[in-house]
Amino acid sequence: MRAPTGGKRQIVIPPVTQEFVNNWKALSTQVGEYEDEIVARIDYIIRMVFKVFDKKDTDYWWAFYGAEEGSVGELYRGLSDDSILVEIELRSDDNTKMIIILNDGSEWSFNGSGGIFPRRWLHEDFMQELIDGKRLYEKAEAERRRKRKEKGVSAKLANKALEMAKSKLSKKELAALRRSL
């Protein structure tokens, strides 16, 4: 609502009661206290992520996107129905990706430039999910590496077998084989 300006037509705004002003002040204070508690919980979540990934001494700052320097910004900018979006700056060169598998089976990652955390972590005990999720991701990643290595070894064996078979063919047989391929 805009304050009335001195035009031809004046809008009359009725006075507010002292009780109305007192209620506003009390609610504003209460909202500030809630925000402080939520911000503290978000900071705790970030610290626990660093701890689980053995980076508890990492120097960082965080804020909601669009925050002015020196401020965490407005809570409403970082909170959606299912996630918390923050910007994080690490004060080191360590950009190690931190990835876990969430309870729902999806991958969650934090890479040092920002993060989208599940909003449910504000009101859930998320530590076990972090610990288990890290272990599950490491296990899945080890399996992917094993399969890539296995695939590479089998490709090498197949190439070796092919070369051996070629070496047993005469030049005429080899030429005929090349034409047919």
pTM (two decimals) = 0.70
**Looking at the domain assignment, is residue 47 inside a domain?**
yes
In angstroms, the CA 109 to CA 98 distance is 6
The answer to whether residue 9 sits within a structural domain is no
**Residue of 154, 49, 173 lying closest to 111 (CA atoms):** 49
* Tens digit of each residue's pLDDT (9 = 90 or more) over 61-79: 889 988 888 889 999 888 8
pLDDT in tens, 83-112: 899 988 877 666 667 889 999 998 888 765
∠ CA 94-98-102, rounded to 5° = 170
Judge whether 49 lies within some domain: yes
Residue 9 has pLDDT above 70, yes or no: yes
pLDDT at 161 over 70: yes
CA neighbours within 13 Å on the CB side: how many for 178?
8
pLDDT at 1 > cutoff 60: no
Q: Is residue 168 part of a domain?
A: no
Our count of domains for the chain comes to: 1
Residue 138 lies in domain: 18-145
45-49, 91-95, 167-171: least confidently modelled range: 91-95
Contacts of residue 111, Cβ cutoff 8 Å, sequence gap at least 6? 95, 97, 98
Give the pLDDT of residue 146: 85
Q: Is residue 155 part of a domain?
A: no
Examine residue 150 and state whether it is found in any structural domain, yes or no.
no
Q: Residues 140-160: pLDDT tens digits?
A: 999 988 888 877 777 777 778
Tell me, yes or no, whether 37 lies in a domain. Answer: yes
* Residue 13: inside a domain: no
